[in-house]
Amino acid sequence: MDKDLLLNMFYAAPELWYVIGAVVFLLLCSLLFLVLLFLKLKQKNYFLRRDRERYAETLYASHDGYFAFIYPDEKVNDPRKYITERCSRRLAVILGLEQGVKSNFDDVLKNFYKDDAKKILKYVGLLKEEGVAFEDYFLLKFSDKYIRLEGVRINGADGNIYCDMIWFRDVSFATNRIKTLEKEKNEIERKFLLQQDLLNNLPFAVWLRDEKLNISYFNKKFAEFIPDKNYNTIIEEHIEITGTSGESISRNLAAKAHKSKKASKSNTGVVINGSRTAMEVYETPFYPEQNLEKTYSTGCLIDINELDALKRDLKQHQNAQLEILQALGTAFAVFDQHMNLHFNNQAFTTLWRLDTNWLNEKQSYLSFLDCLRDNRLLPEVPDYKAYKLEEQKKFSQIIEPLSDLMHLPNGKTIRRMRAPYPMGGVVFAFEDISDRLATTSAYNALISVQNDILSGLFEGILIFGSNGRLNFYNDAYIKLWNGKKEFLAEDPSFDEVLDSQQSFFTDKDDWDNVRKGIKANILSMTAKTITLKRAKISDLLLSVKNLSDGSLLMVYKKID
């Protein structure tokens, strides 16, 4: 069809062509609209799929596992018959399900104990039938895991039921942590109760003050001093134990302790049952919870009535003892814990030739030593400073009585006794034993001379002490009786010495009778001499004499 023909057709029926053009235009617009609508729906579908995948991955990424009972989208008479089940990957991991996401609800229940499984089924039944949500905790059968189950129903905006979901959360860590904390809490409570029992059973009042000097805690004994007020009232109204003057017994003392950062104490009087009782109150500051910005203090109130009485009695006994020491002839002196002279008697002043006025100035022990040295009344020592330092050191180390001798340059010998003094310090006793030593030396010399004389005699000599043991024998006795020095040196008894002489008598079979006869004659108060007939050896004449000290002297002499 050429161009001219087309033009002729157009001019012949122009209205027809306008209609055809309009139709074609409408078709093109409709096609374009459909294309745009298709693209829009496709885009919407894309976003729906993407959101669905996002929500699915979000559920998969959750730390909680779930098991869903999904209802059908179509409207049916009984939608519960067409419910589908879905197990999440996380739930399969938590319970260790062999079938993974293909596991059904029976597989899930197998991981719980029988009674727990029944309980879960009851929960799920109520959820499906009535939409009742639930939450509970269960222990898995094959592990120590604690699982929290939470059942919820999910409905759409139009009221349709989408699904019933049961969320599973592993709460083992939290449960175990709670158990641990619960155990720790119980232990702390137990210790707290023990500490309360400790404080409440103390026989004296104890309290705690805060940084404002207000009492924030006290024990049962404290409350006994304020019987008309309960615990909360005492704390809230800042009620304190008051003394006989009506003022707090320890608030000012606590302020002093807080300021000085040192423990403080004082004596006070408290009225108990209408009578005044002597008390000693303490306040000890400390930093609570190691917080150096705050200062608290603990206080206590101790009954010292008995202690005061004991102190008075002790003082009386002490004064009585000092009066006794004052009257004795032995020199006594007491130096206190500071090494200062506390007491001395007249014998002490006389022995050391000390000036009374000088002693009244409460001289120290070291000054006393210096004074003795100046008067040449101390033993000569090569290093006086070392001697003085040693005396000072020993002063604080004396815990039991000690005794030593002091040999003075003037020839005198002083026995020194040192003992701890009950009130602190050391008590000294000095005794001049020069005459006693001289007498003892002279006595020992006399005994030595007598022993030499007896040892030189030709007669055999035995001396038995008052205890019946041999005290002395000489060489002549050993020769007469063939005695053994080892035996005689062990101080044998009278009977043992007689038995050692048995071999010198013929009638050995009748030794007991012979022995009794000899012993009877020797111990007889009337017998003076006895003749001892020995076998194949010279006979002996035995003379017996009782000495003034109770000893028995026996003298053996040969009969020619």
| b/e code 296-311 from CB counts within 10 Å (16+ = b) | bbbbbbebbeeeeeee
What is the rounded average pLDDT for all residues in the chain? 81
Least confident of 37-46, 214-223, 398-407, 517-526: 517-526
Give 382-386 contacts, CB < 8 A, sequence gap 24+.
none
Q: What is the mean pLDDT of residues 225-252?
A: 84
Write the single-letter amino acid at 500: S
Q: What's phi and psi for 472, nearest 5 deg?
A: -150, 145
pLDDT tens column, 384-443: 888 888 888 888 788 888 888 888 888 888 888 888 887 788 888 888 877 776 666 666
pLDDT at 116 over 80: yes
DSSP string over 152-201: EEEE-TTS-EEEEEEEEEE-HHHHHHHHHHHHHHHHHHHHHHHHHHHHHT
CATH class of 202-303: alpha beta
Which pLDDT does position 560 carry in this prediction? 64
Do 62-170 and 328-432 come out as alike in CATH topology? yes
Write the single-letter amino acid at 298: T
pLDDT tens column, 289-334: 888 888 999 999 888 777 666 666 666 666 556 665 555 567 888 8
CATH class of 448-558: alpha beta
CATH of domain 328-432: 3.30.450.20
Q: Are the C-beta atoms of residues 239 and 233 closer than 8 Å to each other?
A: yes
Q: Which pLDDT band, with edges at 50, 70 and 90, does 372 fall under? A: confident
62-170: CATH superfamily: PAS domain (3.30.450.20)
Q: What is the mean pLDDT of residues 459-479?
A: 82
Name, in order, each residue with C-beta under 8 angstroms of 265's C-beta and a sequence gap of 6 or more. Answer: 253, 280, 281, 282, 283
Q: What is the mean pLDDT of residues 506-528?
A: 70
- Return the percentage of the chain with pLDDT > 70, whole number: 82
Residue owning tokens 């049962």: 220
Give the span between the Cα atoms of 433 and 411, in whole angstroms. Answer: 11
What are the E-state strand segments in 274-346? 275-286, 296-303, 331-335, 341-344
Residue ranges per domain, the chain?
A: 24-58, 62-170, 202-303, 328-432, 448-558
12 vs 390: which has the higher pLDDT: 390
Tokens of 30: 């409709």
Write the single-letter amino acid at 94: I
Least confident of 96-100, 210-214, 237-241, 503-507: 503-507
**pTM of the entire structure?**
0.42
Which pLDDT does position 4 carry in this prediction? 65
Which pLDDT does position 20 carry in this prediction? 76
pLDDT at 259 over 80: yes
Which pLDDT does position 117 carry in this prediction? 93
Give the span between the Cα atoms of 355 and 348, in whole angstroms. Answer: 11
Dihedral of alpha carbons 399, 400, 401, 406, sign: negative
Which pLDDT does position 27 carry in this prediction? 84
Q: What is the mean pLDDT of residues 227-238?
A: 85
pLDDT tens column, 78-111: 556 678 888 988 889 888 888 888 999 999 999 9
